[in-house]
Chain A
């Protein structure tokens, strides 16, 4: 049996850098900004600062010394803890997808970070190697993918499906409104720093005088606009310029990023569903984002955001095709059934509690907006129009289809979302019919899929015959799932 290994020694350096980064901010606060404060919190904070830092440094070192891992052909074993030792086993077969993120710092040292997502509940659902050598990362990745591919001994060739060209990038830059980036950046810098520095006092007054002539103002505006366009393109280029979608026999690989590289790979049979999303801008420019729904966590919000997305600005036709190309087990049809006409009536005539309650409240309180007496009337009419618009748009965008073992739903009001899944990936099916729907001869269907968060998809106001068909359709899934 192989010996458990320590993590890469550079992990300590990365830990220290992160500690410094956090500590610097606290130090700034303790010793500079609030340096005169005699409050109990800050006095003690200043005294304890250095000892605590020393302790944190020590713990980084001890953690590296005591934490180990081992990977055999069935499991990842993790040994953790300085005083309280714990051991965690993660079966390789539970790994849903693999992330690799190489920050600029990682690149500087020729290392990377690697995360295996298991899709289990709780905080320890992922196995993360914050720093790992490229060689070791490749070895581990190989082992995980090999686990699923025992029956396909030869590594098949990877084929490149998509890499954005100039046209795609220009479209991307426009669609993402990246020209506003500079503006929002400046605004955020201003709001953040104005907490500390009073701009009115220092300098801004001077600036105001400087820009008093209109020629200067116009020039400044033009320069600013040019700069924002440039910044927008630069940002788009850095973010999406190097974007590659590969696949081989059994896995899909998405790689992106110019300075910081992120890659994501998933076994094809672990894809729970496909999502094709368009917001308003994307509908105007005719592009769409294809996302793979996976059971493993895909962290949103930080730099890993959107790793499960095949390029977010694919031309619509291409989006549908590429989904089929990389997932030959999926068949995606663009043509789906619209809802029956009576669905529109059912949704338009349904009493809106939101409107009734707000209209009653408006009517009673009669608030005045800009001194206008009839605000209550105007506001309730506007709200009514909004609700009617939402209902009509919801009806107009809705599409559904069952095609062999595949199910597709399209929903949305301003933006749209097409959800495509396979019968064997759906974990629950539900058919409902309210009394209201029964009056009009309608029913609703709903599916639940694995994902983080759990994916609920469905369609309201389909004909009851279709709803019944959906139920029996789902019941026939037993024929196509393989049981261990």
Chain B
């Protein structure tokens, strides 16, 4: 282990991989369609030469990125861990960058469960919590787990510190 930090225990739902792959695939299809239209327009209206080069570079970057987007969800899923206790929410994630996040319960201001259209198909929810500074998401939890986590955080987060 690179960092001497105790990893949180809980994992997210395995279906997250499918959800991510589907949404990445949709994005890729849209992306390539736009790129295709641009190539067509470039050809039809003979745009400046450098635009053609730019499009070729974009295509050259997009292809490996598209392939990667089918692999990265597996690693992403493997890397995700979270933990919630009375005092802290801990999260660990990241493919290229290992990221450990620690938020005191007392600093959490709001918590909600969110479900997108693809997640609905797999009965998944993500739990999103807002602090005074930013908001953080635990993606893709089964419904029961997500709801109980949300309620748990809401209960713990009621406590306020003295000087707020």
Q: Which residues of A contact B (CB under 8 A)?
A: 269-270, 295, 364-365, 424, 427-435, 438, 443, 448-450, 454, 456, 464-465, 467-468, 471-472, 474-475, 477-478, 481-484
B33 within 8 Å of A by Cβ? no
A371 to chain B, nearest CB (A): 22
List B residues 105-149 near A (Cβ within 8 Å).
106-107, 131-134
CA distance A477 to B159 in the complex (A): 15
B37 within 8 Å of A by Cβ? no
Known contacts A430-B102, A456-B133, A481-B162; 15 further A-B pairs (Cβ under 8 A)? A269-B163, A270-B163, A427-B132, A430-B99, A430-B100, A432-B97, A443-B2, A454-B134, A464-B3, A471-B5, A475-B102, A477-B104, A481-B106, A481-B161, A483-B161
**Contact of A484 with B162 in the complex, beta carbons under 8 Å:** yes
CA distance A434 to B94 in the complex (A): 9
A237 to chain B, nearest CB (A): 38
Q: Which residues of A contact B50 (CB under 8 A)?
A: 364-365
Q: How many A-B residue pairs have CB under 8 A?
A: 93
Q: Which residues of B contact A465 (CB under 8 A)?
A: 4
**Contact of A468 with B5 in the complex, beta carbons under 8 Å:** yes
Q: Which residues of A contact B94 (CB under 8 A)?
A: 432
* Contact digits for B53-69, partner A, Cβ 8 Å, 1 yes 0 no: 10000000000000000
CA distance A97 to B69 in the complex (A): 49
A-B residue pairs in contact (CB < 8 Å), sample of 8: A295-B132, A365-B50, A427-B104, A428-B134, A431-B99, A454-B134, A481-B104, A482-B161
B160 within 8 Å of A by Cβ? yes
CA distance A443 to B99 in the complex (A): 10
Q: Which of A434, A450, A481 contacts B132 (CB 8 A)?
A: A450
Q: Which of B4, B53, B161 contacts A464 (CB 8 A)?
A: B4
Q: Which residues of A contact B131 (CB under 8 A)?
A: 427-428, 448
Q: Known contacts being A364-B53, A427-B107, A448-B134, is A468 close to B101, with CB within 8 Å?
A: no
B88 to chain A, nearest CB (A): 7
Q: Which residues of B contact A (CB under 8 A)?
A: 2-5, 50, 53, 87-88, 94, 96-104, 106-107, 131-134, 159-163
B33 to chain A, nearest CB (A): 25
CA distance A269 to B164 in the complex (A): 10
Q: Known contacts being A427-B104, A428-B107, A484-B161, is A454 close to B132, with CB within 8 Å?
A: yes
Q: Which residues of B contact A429 (CB under 8 A)?
A: 101-102
**Contact of A430 with B101 in the complex, beta carbons under 8 Å:** yes
Q: Which residues of B contact A431 (CB under 8 A)?
A: 3, 5, 99-100
CA distance A435 to B75 in the complex (A): 14
Q: Which of A456, A471, A481 contacts B100 (CB 8 A)?
A: A471
Which residue of B has the minimal Cβ distance to A120? Answer: B132
Q: Known contacts being A269-B163, A484-B159, is A428 close to B133, with CB within 8 Å?
A: yes
**Contact of A432 with B161 in the complex, beta carbons under 8 Å:** no
**Contact of A484 with B160 in the complex, beta carbons under 8 Å:** yes
CA distance A91 to B15 in the complex (A): 46
CA distance A365 to B48 in the complex (A): 12
CA distance A3 to B160 in the complex (A): 32
Which residue of B has the minimal Cβ distance to A467? Answer: B3
Q: Known contacts being A454-B132, A475-B88, is A434 close to B97, with CB within 8 Å?
A: yes
CA distance A63 to B161 in the complex (A): 38
Q: Which of B53, B88, B96, B159 contacts A483 (CB 8 A)?
A: B159
Q: Which residues of A contact B134 (CB under 8 A)?
A: 428, 448, 454
Which residue of A has the minimal Cβ distance to B99? Answer: A432
**Contact of A448 with B133 in the complex, beta carbons under 8 Å:** yes
**Contact of A428 with B161 in the complex, beta carbons under 8 Å:** no
CA distance A474 to B101 in the complex (A): 11
Q: Known contacts being A427-B132, A428-B107, A454-B133, is A468 close to B4, with CB within 8 Å?
A: yes
Q: Which residues of A contact B162 (CB under 8 A)?
A: 481-484
Which residue of B has the minimal Cβ distance to A448? Answer: B133
CA distance A210 to B94 in the complex (A): 72
- Between B50, B97, B102, B103, the greatest number of chain A beta carbons within 10 A of the residue's beta carbon is seen for B102
Which residue of B has the minimal Cβ distance to A148? Answer: B163
Which residue of A has the minimal Cβ distance to B103? Answer: A428
**Contact of A433 with B97 in the complex, beta carbons under 8 Å:** yes
CA distance A222 to B159 in the complex (A): 67
B117 to chain A, nearest CB (A): 30
Q: Which of A428, A432, A443 contacts B102 (CB 8 A)?
A: A428
CA distance A471 to B88 in the complex (A): 12
B153 to chain A, nearest CB (A): 15
**Contact of A474 with B161 in the complex, beta carbons under 8 Å:** no
Q: Which of A295, A365, A428, A443 contacts B3 (CB 8 A)?
A: A443
Nearest first, the 5 A-B pairs at minimum CB distance are: A468-B4, A482-B162, A448-B133, A454-B133, A427-B107
- Between B104, B131, B161, the greatest number of chain A beta carbons within 10 A of the residue's beta carbon is seen for B104
CA distance A258 to B102 in the complex (A): 47
Q: Which residues of A contact B4 (CB under 8 A)?
A: 464-465, 468
**Contact of A471 with B132 in the complex, beta carbons under 8 Å:** no
B34 to chain A, nearest CB (A): 21
**Contact of B160 with A428 in the complex, beta carbons under 8 Å:** no
CA distance A443 to B160 in the complex (A): 32
**Contact of B2 with A464 in the complex, beta carbons under 8 Å:** yes
CA distance A471 to B92 in the complex (A): 12
**Contact of A483 with B99 in the complex, beta carbons under 8 Å:** no
Q: Which residues of B contact A478 (CB under 8 A)?
A: 87, 104
B101 to chain A, nearest CB (A): 5
Q: Which residues of A contact B2 (CB under 8 A)?
A: 433, 438, 443, 464
B4 to chain A, nearest CB (A): 4
Q: Which residues of B contact A434 (CB under 8 A)?
A: 96-98
Q: Which residues of A contact B107 (CB under 8 A)?
A: 427-428
CA distance A438 to B2 in the complex (A): 8
B61 to chain A, nearest CB (A): 12
Q: Which residues of A contact B99 (CB under 8 A)?
A: 430-432
